[in-house]
Amino acid sequence: MYSSFITAGKAFLPDNGGKNMSFQVMLQQLSRGFGSTLMIFCLTLLFSLPLGLVIYFGRVSRFKPLSLVVKCYISVMRGTPLMLQLLLWYFGPFYLWGMNIGGYKFTAIILGCSLNYAAYFAEIYRSGIESIPVGQYEAAQLLGYNKSQTFFKIVLPQVVKIVLPSVTNEVITLVKDTSLVYSVSYIEMFALAKQIAAAQTTVLPFVIAGVFYYVFNFVVAWVMEWLEKKMNYYR
């Protein structure tokens, strides 16, 4: 696996005839890698946020077997490292069924990251929903709302406001966790930084990558804080 990672990484590095890579070229290469990081981040959020709500409903289901299975799923997702889960999702189909995993790598990454973060989001949603006073459900029932209308029109808007700080923490963690996909030899910004640092014997690529991560997390935190302020009318 490591040799294939090295080979894949070299394909992304320009041939400079053995000369030291300039800062501009280094920045350009890491910018390309950041595009892959951003894609993993966006797709993981796209799938894990709604999936977390589905998992929450399974978690609180009155059908005990379903609730038990979902609880076990959440426990496993939160109790084992994401890197280990990525390795299992990627190599598992090959070892179990002899599946050709050549073009499966990106799918395995999105699948592993989404299922992992959905478990965390499910518990965040549960804490927010259970914090809504019972009186609001009773009031909605008196007003003639059914369960679906009560949840989507009364409960969910308040829950979004309540869970935003916790969701923000998870989203920021996700930005940093995208670097774990190097474990399945996928080339993104962190993997490229390691390749360039090894080839050029310098820590500068790590510094540049760190700046990329920090700036992106700063933007994410700013956007989430702006959303919190916009939803202050739920106080």
Tokens of 159: 């829950």
CATH classification number, 2-6+21-234, choose in 2.60.40.1170, 1.10.10.10, 1.10.3720.10, 3.60.110.10: 1.10.3720.10
Of 5-19, 100-114, 130-144, 184-198, minimum mean pLDDT range: 5-19
Q: What's phi and psi for 22, nearest 5 deg?
A: -75, 160
As a whole number, mean pLDDT of residues 173-189 equals 89
DSSP 8-state assignment for residue 179: G
Residue-wise pLDDT tens digits, 79-100: 999 999 999 998 888 888 877 7
> Is residue 175 pLDDT above 80, yes or no?
yes
- Domain coordinates in residue numbering, the chain: 2-6+21-234
Percent of the chain beyond pLDDT 90? 46
The pLDDT value recorded for residue 213 is: 93
CA atoms within 13 A on the CB side of 31: 6
Q: How far, in Å, CA of 68 to CA of 205, rounded?
A: 46
Q: Are 165 and 84 in contact (CB under 8 A)?
A: no
**13 falls in which pLDDT band (50, 70, 90)?**
low
Render pLDDT for 140-163 as a digit per residue (tens, 0 to 9): 888 888 888 888 888 888 888 889
pLDDT at 184 over 90: no
Closest CA to 157 of 227, 61, 60, 58: 227
